[in-house]
Structure 1
Amino acid sequence: MQTDLKNLKTELKLELQSILSYWMENTIDTKNGGFVGQIDYRNNTNNEAEKGSVLNARLLWTFSAAYKISNNKEHLETAKRAFEYISEHFYDKEFGGIFWSINHNGTPKDTKNQIYALAFVIYGLSEYYSVTKDGKALEMAIALYQKIQKYSYDAVNGGYLEAFTRDWLPIEDLRLSEKDANEKKTMNTHLHIVEGYANLYTVWKDKSLLKVIIELLETIEKYFINTETGHLRLFFDENWVEKKDVISYGHDIEAAWLLLQCAEISGDSTLIENYKKHAIQIADVTKDGIDSDGGLWYEYNPETKELMAEKHWWPQAELMIGYYTAWQLSGKQEYLDIVFKNWDFTKKYIIDKEKGEWFWGINSDYSTMEKDKAGFWKCPYHNSRACIELIHRI
């Protein structure tokens, strides 16, 4: 087993290097600044594509986090490029939010404040500050945290509301993407707010922030974790009335390890123990979504009994950390076997061995999905983070 883990660590170090090289070689926008908005599955660059705040925030986090392992100055330079571009083009200096998207030339396009995006910018800025000690990054992260607390936090019912206009007024369409339900409170946004806040707390030991993190973890446990099924509940209105939806295997297993990590950062012993139990329960029920080839299916609808028979890149990455965590907590070999088998699947079907990076995913017939290699939602954060987390843990 030790040999297998050693080999896995070696392979993940090489894969991390490969992912980072892909983004440095293919996505730097030399004409307009920052990074290009889209590269398709055939590796064709669209220089006119809009640029998303989430992609840029995740690039900032990825290259900052990777620098801690690599000590490669080019990685730090790339992180700096992302930081400067976000500060200059995505940060709304007038209203103190983050533009959801900008045009290829850096001018604002969709100016709404999607709290999910603000949370990711906080996540990236905190990581960048941890390696550079650039006070401007910490200052911006704290300012965004304060905006979320001021406008998004629901002081009556608890939890956080999804989105606002540029000047922080209510907005009709709250959705992250077209496939989401138009509801005021979502698991996905709460997961990433606590992720951003916990990362901020590692560099800014503020007592009120710690209190907020603990409350958030308690809220997530109360509403979003279904302890009867072990799966996550995804959508609610402002009064915590659930809108039933699919089982998202990727979000389940991502939450399993990430929420435990946030609980550990909080230092709250009750929450840590609770989230250890959740991590195991979620890992156990997520097994239903693992195919015989080791790959994790995307979604399942319990009402219609329909499987969304696609295997996307990011659930594979999250599966590896989630099941490694379950193995660390339990010592049960079966969890580690799932990690090894999934990594074999990923190497065989998801990683683009010819051009680098990971494909969006594969269809049920193993054909490659014809979706972005880099884009609004296709970022190096899930796969890089899987490499980084497992390198640290092994």
Structure 2
Amino acid sequence: MDQLARENLAEWKRILAYWEKYTPDYQRGGFHGRLNYENQPILDAPRSIILTGRILWTFSLAYRYFHRRKYLVLADRAYHYLYNHFRDTKNGGVYWSVTANGAPLETRKQLYGHAFAIYGLSEYYAASKFKPALDFAQELFKTVDKHGFDAQRGGYYEAFGTDWAVVDDLILSKQPWNKSQNTHLHIIEAFTNLYRVWPDALLRERVAHLTDAFLDKLISPKTYRLRLFFDENWTPKDETVSYGHDIEASWLLWETAEVLNDHARSERVKQVCIKMAEAACSGLGEDGALDYEFDPLTNHHNHERSWWVLAEQMVGFLNAFQLTGQQHFRDKADKSWEFIKKYVIDNQKGDWFGTVKPDLTPVKNDKVNFWKCPYHNSRACYEVVRRLG
């Protein structure tokens, strides 16, 4: 086995062990919504559909790969908590968050959150073959498509009220822009995973549509970078460069093209993905890590290094190497891993630091919270093992 794959296999197991040890809540069910740097649970912390859906995906994939029952038990725990506490039985869809005791908290309908519910549920079905999980994923897809799809202009809207009414407060988007690359990236990721286990004609049509939306609207034809926010007519409203999303999209879109198995579309996606990886290289420091963001309007660089960006760049550059055979991409993937080993993995408290400062010192913040999850880093390890193992 390739050394990079061997080391990532060991790290993947270590990440899973951390989340198995510290995050289950055996008093109230599910998983703790927040752990501080000392791995102590914050008992009143709310729980997000993002964290719950990503935990469900993580342990479902782990069971599917390793066939160890303890991972399926943890996936079961995440599934039942998601189904019993996040599902809106009156209006359809899932809540954005619930309280520490599992009561509805933020009941608005964020399509970003629905994407991670579908992503986790589809992976759980692939692992467990538990038909109600697939039924739930199908139901969420149909609900999202019914309320969120813009049949006139294409793509999906950001957010809705509890009852799927239009709202002004979109939470994740810069006001008043109601379409974003981030939500679309995770919708296509989720729909692609669902299509693997449910090759439905409408779902395939939507996945193909989203692929074309990235090629024609979300990715700049001049810079091969994602444009972050849009109005409903797809007019770009922000020029900020998000290096992590660019490199993440460069391999997720290729994954979608492979699943669709459409030769003409795949060839176009391949060329764009390679150019996106090339463009992302401009954000690399000499140490091999991508900066977080750059705003060309203000010339402001955010030189912080984020755990999720490091995870995605390792996979993105490895994917570009496999598409092109160009050694410099493999070198960048290897250098990404060396940075992760040296600065991002927390050998004392477990898992990964969320942020590393420009001076290469770690920020000792929460190990688990609304957004800090086991999905980016465990998935990166899996992808390296899958591609090189």
Q: TM-score, normalised by structure 2?
A: 0.98
Spell out the pairing of 1:193-342 with structure 2 (5 A cutoff). Answer: 193-342=187-336
Once the two structures are TM-superposed, the CA of residue 381 in structure 1 deviates from its matched residue by: 0.4
Q: Secondary structure at the match of 1:307?
A: strand
Preserved contact between residue 279 and residue 322 of structure 1 (Cα < 8 Å): no
Once the two structures are TM-superposed, the CA of residue 42 in structure 1 deviates from its matched residue by: 3.4
User: Paired residue for 1:381?
Assistant: 375
User: Paired residue for 1:188?
Assistant: 182
Amino acid at match of 1:75: Y
Once the two structures are TM-superposed, the CA of residue 181 in structure 1 deviates from its matched residue by: 5.0
Preserved contact between residue 53 and residue 117 of structure 1 (Cα < 8 Å): yes
How far apart in 2 are the matches of 1:67 and 1:389? 15
Q: Say whether 1:126 aligns with 2:116.
A: no
Q: Secondary structure at the match of 1:335?
A: helix
User: Paired residue for 1:137?
Assistant: 133
Q: Deviations over 1:80-100 (max 9, x none)?
A: 110000000011111111110
Once the two structures are TM-superposed, the CA of residue 175 in structure 1 deviates from its matched residue by: 2.5
- Alignment equivalent of 2:56, drawn from 51, 56, 60: 60
User: Paired residue for 1:101?
Assistant: 97
Once the two structures are TM-superposed, the CA of residue 182 in structure 1 deviates from its matched residue by: 4.4
User: Paired residue for 1:149?
Assistant: 145
Q: Secondary structure at the match of 2:301?
A: strand
Spell out the pairing of 1:60-99 with structure 2 (5 A cutoff). Answer: 60-99=56-95
Once the two structures are TM-superposed, the CA of residue 223 in structure 1 deviates from its matched residue by: 0.8
User: Paired residue for 2:21?
Assistant: 25
Amino acid at match of 1:38: R
How far apart in 2 are the matches of 1:110 and 1:136? 25
Gaps of 5+ in 2: none
How far apart in 2 are the matches of 1:308 and 1:181? 22
User: Paired residue for 2:107?
Assistant: 111
How far apart in 2 are the matches of 1:173 and 1:264? 36
Gaps of 5+ in 1: none
How far apart in 1 are the matches of 2:261 and 2:169? 37
Q: Secondary structure at the match of 1:194?
A: helix
How far apart in 2 are the matches of 1:47 and 1:72? 29
Q: Secondary structure at the match of 2:362?
A: coil
Q: Deviations over 1:3-51 (max 9, x none)?
A: xx62111111111111111111011111111000111233332111000
How far apart in 2 are the matches of 1:245 and 1:101? 30
Once the two structures are TM-superposed, the CA of residue 69 in structure 1 deviates from its matched residue by: 1.8
Preserved contact between residue 248 and residue 298 of structure 1 (Cα < 8 Å): yes
How far apart in 1 are the matches of 2:176 and 2:336? 33
Q: Deviations over 1:194-223 (max 9, x none)?
A: 111111111011112111111111112111
Preserved contact between residue 155 and residue 210 of structure 2 (Cα < 8 Å): yes
How far apart in 1 are the matches of 2:304 and 2:235? 30
- Alignment equivalent of 1:16, drawn from 12, 17, 22: 12
Q: Secondary structure at the match of 1:108?
A: coil
Q: Percent identity?
A: 44
Preserved contact between residue 108 and residue 159 of structure 2 (Cα < 8 Å): yes
How far apart in 2 are the matches of 1:48 and 1:331? 50
Amino acid at match of 1:378: K
Preserved contact between residue 96 and residue 110 of structure 2 (Cα < 8 Å): yes
Q: Say whether 1:171 aligns with 2:167.
A: yes
Q: Number of residue pairs matched?
A: 388
Preserved contact between residue 343 and residue 361 of structure 2 (Cα < 8 Å): no
